[in-house]
């Protein structure tokens, strides 16, 4: 009888200048978005510099970035990371409107979630990104 292999925990960094937005994202996605991707360890960032530092240090498997954050939005941060890091984790942008998806393409994000956050869709999007995450997070 072989042992059941459990997926390793995954780290997701959620960025927004608004703590309520970060909370809504965490609550919508939960601790396990799908059985095959392991449990989620959440990191939070309230500034663009925190996101860049965490991504540069390899601390997250997936980044969820608020496109409406101030003073620096998630779209600009996503594009910056894509152009500066050799191994940027997959990025999901949190958008205010579906019409902004074209800007998400410009930012080179792999996925989007829109307000109001649909927990079923958000969990599915994040689980897909975790399955595609190229490099495990470092502590």
3-state helix, strand, coil in the chain (%, to 5): 40, 20, 40
Give burial (CB, 10 Å; 0-12/13-18/19+) of 5.
exposed
Q: How many CA atoms lie within 13 A of 82 on its CB side?
A: 16
3-state secondary structure at position 115: coil
pLDDT band at 3 (very low <50, low <70, confident <90, very high): very low
Domains in the chain (CATH in brackets) are 10-132 (3.40.50.2300)
pLDDT attached to residue 104: 86
By the 10 Å C-beta count (0-12 exposed, 13-18 middle, 19+ buried), 36 is classed as exposed
pLDDT digits (tens, 9 = 90+) for 26-85: 999 999 999 999 899 999 999 999 999 999 999 999 999 999 999 999 999 999 999 999
């Amino acid at each position: 009888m072989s042992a059941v292999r459990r997926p390793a925990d995954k780290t997701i960094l959620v960025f927004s200048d608004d703590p309520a937005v970060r909370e809504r994202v965490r609550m919508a996605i939960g601790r396990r978005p799908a059985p095959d991707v392991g449990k989620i360890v959440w990191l939070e960032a309230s500034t663009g510099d925190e996101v860049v530092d965490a991504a540069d240090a390899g601390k997250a498997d997936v980044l969820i970035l608020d496109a409406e954050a101030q003073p620096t939005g998630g779209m600009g941060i996503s594009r910056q990371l894509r152009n500066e890091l050799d191994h940027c984790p997959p990025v999901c942008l949190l958008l205010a409107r579906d019409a902004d998806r074209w800007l998400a393409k410009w930012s080179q994000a792999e996925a989007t979630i829109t307000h109001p956050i649909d927990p079923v869709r958000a969990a599915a999007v994040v689980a897909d990104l975790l399955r595609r995450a190229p490099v495990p997070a470092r502590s």
